[in-house]
Amino acid sequence: MRWLAVILTMVAGPAVALDVPSGQGVELQEVLVDPVGSQTFVRFRLVAPAIARETSDLDYETVSGDMMHLCQDLALPYIAEFDLTGDVIVISLADRETEFGVADPDATQFFEAFRVEEGRCIWEGL
């Protein structure tokens, strides 16, 4: 499955600005398909510089609506277009590009997990 992550990363670029309810600028960094135990996670990793804790007043509560919006309006169509399958959709926002699986204590990051039921994203709560 790791090869699929590399292919999807290339499909995701170049960065395109996405509209979200908070009005902040958000760009898709990469999409990863990742087996986790008996489930498959489809991870949408996005860069959202406006969440930087040093300079922002955007907190998790403010951007949680953005993550639901990104699941519905970005992840679901993307999964359909590229014929992906997964059990869990993870939307992650970071104030800068980060390497997946590598700790970056300086980065501000928010994560949320969703399941899809009847074509809708259902919040799982991480």
Q: Residue 8 — very low, low, confident or very high, per pLDDT cuts 50/70/90? A: low
DSSP bridge partners of 43:
32, 90
61 φ/ψ angles, rounded to the nearest 5 degrees: -60, -40
Q: State the residue for tokens 């960065």.
A: 15
Q: DSSP secondary-structure letter at 13?
A: P
- How is residue 104 written in tokens? 């970056």
- Residues 9-68: tens digit of each pLDDT: 444 455 567 899 999 999 999 999 999 999 999 999 999 999 998 887 788 888 999 999
Q: What dihedral do alpha carbons 76, 79, 85, 90 form, nearest 10°?
A: -60
pTM: 0.85
* Structural domains of the chain ordered from first start: 2-123 (3.30.300)
Q: Residue 126 — very low, low, confident or very high, per pLDDT cuts 50/70/90? A: low
In the prediction, which pLDDT does 14 show? Answer: 52
Q: Which runs of E-coded beta strand occur in the chain?
A: 17-18, 26-36, 39-47, 88-94, 109-117, 120-123
